[in-house]
Amino acid sequence: MALTPEQVFDSKVDQEIRIEPRDWMPDKYRQTLVRQISQHAHSEIVGMLPEGNWITRAPSLRRKATLIAKVQDEAGHGLYLYSAAETLGTSRTEMIEQLHNGKAKYSSIFNYPTISWADMGAIGWLVDGAAIMNQVPLCRTSYGPYARAMVRICKEESFHQRQGFEILLTLSRGTEAQRHMCQDSINRWWWPSVMMFGPSDDASPHTAQSMKWKIKRFTNDELRQKFVDICAEQVKLLGMTLPDPLLNWNEVRQHYDFGPINWEEFWSVISGNGPCNKERLDARVKAHEEGEWVRQAANAYAKKHRQ
Ligand code: FAQ
């Protein structure tokens, strides 16, 4: 007896065969992917803003060139991800509209301000570090175009993470004021980075289904724990500390225990009330409006070539 489209889909997922754009897929699977990939793309694009803030003030030409390259990589990641999401039948214009009218989310982390040069280091080490922890498993996600986009993105993120750590390492070996700047930045970015993994598993509405469909390979809490375990060791190389008095190696669990997360802050930031939500969205809308002439010119050029 012939298999139904749903049975074919399920058996592909079971056998680790990638789902491709023209394959039949449940509507909910498609919607989940459009939501996750577009929010991921928006995060990369909005994520350019906090670091963009420091390009003109980088302390040396080398630091400036590296930071420009990193921010440019983030733009590239956003574009790959919009392209991957478009293969599911939603246009880029629609996705961008959803970002601008507040219907679509972007990562909570980009709603915090970058107030010192050390923040460029902390973003690279902690924010890119958390992004890699979450994204390496996405190279094996069940939807082909998303998985393939993640391979290159992860390679670039890993460079970003190392350049951030190196900024902090330099500061940590510097003057008293530089060491202070380094610790202060870690103190401000630690908890928001821990929150990047999303709500705890018992409060995460999407995780169970996304794990069944192999969109997600690990739960939010599993990835968060891996991140804490790695950072708790790496911070020692900096001679700094993480701002958590309850951080402690647990011999039985073979993991670090850590203190309670301020979920009130997390939900408040993702509902639009973080320190920089308004500023970030205003900057995106302004850039989009001011770029209208570029889109018009590109369309006119493409039309002329078609003719
Ligand atoms: N921020 O049920 P779950 C980067 C929302 S890339 C805002 O657990 P899910 C690179 C979630 O959307 C960073 N919202 O949802 C870079 C859902 O809301 P909805 C971005 C969050 O999807 C570095 C609700 O809460 N990475 O940083 C957050 O199964 C440096 C319930 O949550 C990705 O997007 C949050 N942190 O799991 C760039 C990776 N967490 O849609 C520049 C791909 C949760 O129902 C500089 N995404 N929410 O209204 C994922 O892996 C997943 O979507 C999760 C959330 C893990 C983020």
Residue 181 pLDDT = 98
Using one digit for the tens of pLDDT, what is the confidence trace for 14-23?
999 999 999 9
Q: Is the pLDDT of residue 252 over 80?
A: yes
Residue 1 pLDDT = 76
202 Cβ closer than 6 Å to some ligand 1 atom: no
Using one digit for the tens of pLDDT, what is the confidence trace for 73-118?
999 999 999 999 999 999 999 999 999 999 999 999 999 999 999 9
CA of 130 to the centre of ligand 1 (A): 11
Q: Whose CA is nearest to atom 46 of ligand 1?
A: 47
Residue 248 pLDDT = 98
38 Cβ closer than 6 Å to some ligand 1 atom: no
The residue with tokens 């018009």 is 296
Which DSSP string do the residues of 214-249 spell out, in sequence order? Answer: TS-SS-HHHHHHHHHHHHHHHHHHHT---S-TT-EE
DSSP 25: -
CA of 232 to the centre of ligand 1 (A): 23
Inter-CA distances, 20 with 7, 140, 146, 215, Å: 16, 13, 10, 13
Nearest-CA neighbor of 46 among 296, 270, 297, 299? Answer: 270
**Mutation probe of ligand 1 site: the residue of 80, 107, 160 with most atoms within 8 A of C-beta:** 107
Amino acid at the residue 199: P
Q: 48: which residues sit within 8 A by CB, 6+ positions away?
A: 71, 74, 75, 78
Q: Evaluate whether 281 touches 100 at the Cβ level (below 8 Å).
A: yes
Q: Which residues pair with 255 in a beta bridge?
A: 250
Q: Whose CA is nearest to atom 19 of ligand 1?
A: 105
Alpha helices, DSSP H only, in the chain? 5-14, 27-46, 48-52, 61-86, 92-100, 118-122, 129-135, 144-172, 176-195, 207-212, 220-238, 263-268, 277-290, 292-306
CATH superfamily of 5-305: Ferritin, core subunit, four-helix bundle (1.20.1260.10)
If you average pLDDT over residues 194-216, what whole number do you get?
98
Task: Quote the CA–CA distance of 264 and 245 in Å, as a whole number.
Answer: 20
Amino acid at the residue 216: K
The residue with tokens 């969109």 is 215
Task: Quote the CA–CA distance of 83 and 211 in Å, as a whole number.
Answer: 23
217 Cβ closer than 6 Å to some ligand 1 atom: no
- The region, left, alpha or beta by phi > 0 then psi within -120 to 50, assigned to residue 229 is alpha
pLDDT above 90 as % of the chain: 99
What atom of ligand 1 comes closest to residue 47's alpha carbon?
42
**Mutation probe of ligand 1 site: the residue of 28, 35, 37, 39 with most atoms within 8 A of C-beta:** 39
Inter-CA distances, 250 with 70, 201, 246, 247, 258, Å: 36, 21, 11, 9, 10
Task: Quote the CA–CA distance of 67 and 138 in Å, as a whole number.
Answer: 25
Q: What is the mean pLDDT of the chain?
A: 97
Residue 29 pLDDT = 98
Task: Quote the CA–CA distance of 121 and 98 in Å, as a whole number.
Answer: 31
User: What tokens were used for 307?
Assistant: 């003719």
Burial of 297 (0-12, 13-18, 19+ CB in 10 A): exposed
Q: Whose CA is nearest to atom 48 of ligand 1?
A: 198
If you average pLDDT over residues 254-268, what whole number do you get?
98
Per domain, the residue ranges of the chain are 5-305
